[in-house]
Chains A and B, each alone.
Chain A
Amino acid sequence: EADIYQTPRYLVIGTGKKITLECSQTMGHDKMYWYQQDPGMELHLIHYSYGVNSTEKGDLSSESTVSRIRTEHFPLTLESARPSHTSQYLCASSEGDTQYFGPGTRLTVL
């Protein structure tokens, strides 16, 4: 198993709150990713990064934003959470083509 961590693992918040989902990896990987996945459904890429100071939007439009100030850290922020943001958010990093996933954050917005 790779060393990639996500916090919090579970989050229940009210509509309109600002939240930041944390993702860290200790493997020195340059490439990192955020996916959104509803239960039992496919993975949708929402953001990725080639390295420090680089971020790109993925295939699925998302109201979230990301930053990559340090190699090991790739946080995702929602400025104003809504019930439609309820989902699981998976962070991953890669060495070569293989991706290593964190345990995920299950977000519920009431």
Chain B
Amino acid sequence: GQQVMQIPQYQHVQEGEDFTTYCNSSTTLSNIQWYKQRPGGHPVFLIQLVKSGEVKKQKRLTFQFGEAKKNSSLHITATQTTDVGTYFCAALSNSGYALNFGKGTSLLVTP
């Protein structure tokens, strides 16, 4: 399948600092999705990127899809404690029916 690698695995920031997680693939992706999982919760869909170079914003979150469609990033400006959780990127498998999830980046925000 279209494997995706995520870095960093963990990130600990002070409230108000920015945060970025990166997702990389060795193959061209048809699209990429981002999910957030709060501690003890389940993954929740955030956004899907489809076009080369696409940038989408959701309040303090900025999502970007690389020009070659092989990488993506999620940037959070001025983190808040409510941003705590694990952020996963995911790409369609070769079958087109399932998603391959990255290992996730766990974000901890301390006040």
Residues of A at the B interface (CB closer than 8 Å) are 1, 31, 33, 40-43, 45, 48, 50, 56, 58-59, 90, 92, 97-104
Contact = CB atoms under 8 A, between A and B. Distances in A.
A14 to B, nearest CB: 25
Given A98-B33, A101-B42, A101-B43, A42 B104 contact: yes
A18 B92 CA distance: 33
Interface of B (DSSP majority class): strand
Contact of B48 (A40, A43, A48, A98): A98
B8 interface: no
Interface residues of B, number: 24
A97 B31 contact: yes
Given A50-B97, A97-B92, A104 B33 contact: no
A99 B42 contact: no
Given A59-B1, A97-B31, A98-B33, A90 B43 contact: yes
